[in-house]
Homo-oligomer: A and B are copies of this chain.
Amino acid sequence: MNENDEKRAVVLLSGGLDSATVLAIARDMGFDCHAISFDYGQRHDVELAASDAVAEAFGVVEHRTVKIDLSAAGGFGHSALTDDIDVPMDRPSDEAIPETYVPARNTIFLSIALGFAEVLDARDIFIGVNAVDYSGYPDCRPEFIEAFEKLANLATAAGVEGSRPFVIHAPLVNMTKAQIITRGVELGVDYGITHSCYSPAPDGAACGHCDSCRLRAAGFETAGLPDPTRYAL
């Protein structure tokens, strides 16, 4: 270990508003950021293009995209965010959790980020989960993050042997969308290059009508800040 290791962080980057803000926060805290994105068969690769743009805008040390093909294992099968996968079992129709819930997604993403961090000798992992506006997702809650942090320090050689424990940073977890946007604008985030829409036009323009677009637009309105999102006409 040397002093520089303590300034090195892994940041999960989706290209959305939340993870762009988290990257800005991590940079503001003085971390050298190694961004990691996942190509898991999202319907829209505009999301991955946005993550490239955000990574570049914030001068990350590197930006890695990991391709995960889980089609052999049910493939994130239930989610409206991925498609054309046979769903082995129907979920109850009175389900409180949104259709966009992806089974074990954040657990899988954080696990891979943990391996990456251990290889880098980094101990800080940043993730843009938010429990306020997405309270339906179990893996966006503070208790999930705490449980993962505990696991990380039991699971790894670095956690067991090292004097520096892993820390899972989820700085947005208790913030509203308006608070996130306000903080990001303070830190210089250009939200025009981020992507949130679940159903974008072929040219990447946001639909303005899906849950994600509506939450995002309401956030700018509540924050009293101009919405730079490019909407489909």
The answer to whether A198 has its CB under 8 Å from any CB of chain B is no
- Complex interface: chain B residues within 8 A of A156 (CB): 103-104, 107, 138-139
* A66 touches which of B72, B154, B159 (Cβ 8 Å): B72
Residues of A contacting B: mostly: helix
Instruction: Give the distance in Å from the alpha carbon of A91 to the alpha carbon of B97 in the complex.
Output: 43
Q: Determine how many copies of this chain the complex contains.
A: 2
Instruction: Give the distance in Å from the alpha carbon of A171 to the alpha carbon of B108 in the complex.
Output: 24
- Complex interface: chain B residues within 8 A of A68 (CB): 68
- Shortest beta-carbon distance from A61 to chain B in Å: 11
Check if B112 sits within 8 Å of A73, measured CB to CB: yes
The answer to whether A186 has its CB under 8 Å from any CB of chain B is no
Lowest 5 A-B CB distances belong to which pairs? A74-B119, A104-B115, A103-B118, A73-B116, A111-B111
Check if A155 sits within 8 Å of B104, measured CB to CB: yes
Besides A73-B112, A89-B121, A108-B115, 14 other A-B contacts (C-beta < 8 A): A66-B73, A74-B115, A76-B115, A95-B157, A103-B119, A103-B157, A103-B158, A108-B108, A111-B111, A138-B154, A139-B155, A147-B151, A148-B151, A151-B151
Contact with B along A114-136 (1 / 0, CB 8 A): 11101111000000000000000
The answer to whether A65 has its CB under 8 Å from any CB of chain B is yes
If the complex has contacts A115-B104, A138-B155, A151-B147, are A72 and B76 also in contact, measured as CB distance less than 8 A?
no
Check if A107 sits within 8 Å of B111, measured CB to CB: yes
Listed by A's residue number, 8 A-B pairs whose Cβ atoms lie within 8 Å are A67-B69, A73-B112, A73-B113, A73-B115, A74-B120, A95-B157, A104-B114, A110-B111
Instruction: Give the distance in Å from the alpha carbon of A75 to the alpha carbon of B111 in the complex.
Output: 13
Contact with B along A171-183 (1 / 0, CB 8 A): 0000000000000
The answer to whether A87 has its CB under 8 Å from any CB of chain B is yes
The answer to whether A164 has its CB under 8 Å from any CB of chain B is no
Contact with B along A65-108 (1 / 0, CB 8 A): 11111101111111000000001110100011100010111111
- Complex interface: chain B residues within 8 A of A103 (CB): 114-115, 118-119, 156-158
Residue of B nearest to A158 (CB): B103
Instruction: Give the distance in Å from the alpha carbon of A118 to the alpha carbon of B76 in the complex.
Output: 9
